[in-house]
Amino acid sequence: MKAAFVFLMVFVVYGCTSLRPIELSPLDLQAKIVEENIIQIGDEVKLVTSNGIHHEFTIESISSSVIKGKNTEVLVKDIVAIETREFSGGKTSLLVGGSFLTLWIFIAAIPAVVVL
């Protein structure tokens, strides 16, 4: 039961994140990565490079020319699109509330099943 609860909580927290695209032209995007820190170490990102390759990873380091993740290295000058993973409080509230309501209904139904 404890393991199921932990699994549910991990699912809820991860399930309540979504990828948010950063809507900029490739040149503006590349400039903002370097100048304004629109992404940071630890962010989960999905990048698309000029050759059409999609990269999805957690950022481990950022320099003015390279973004690195585990076993991944992308040149800033090659990035044409980027999405960052963000937490959604509203989605979390709905998912947690729905999960507890389902669990409550399930627990309430157990005595009826046991009596039969």
Give the start-to-end residue ranges of the domains of the chain.
16-92
**What per-residue string of b and e applies to 40-49 under the rule 16 or more CB within 10 Å gives b?**
eeebbbebbb
Which DSSP helix (H) or strand (E) runs through 18? strand 17-21
Q: Give the right CATH number for 16-92 from 3.30.70, 2.30.30, 3.40.50, 2.40.50.
A: 2.30.30
List, for residues 36-75, the tens digit of each pLDDT value.
778 888 888 889 999 999 999 999 999 889 999 999 999 9
Is residue 42 within 8 Å of 59, Cβ to Cβ? Answer: yes
Residue where the block lists tokens 């991860």: 14
User: Model-level pTM?
Assistant: 0.58
Strand partners, 81: 48
**pLDDT for res 98:** 65
**pLDDT for res 113:** 54
pLDDT band at residue 22 using 50, 70 and 90 as cut-offs: confident
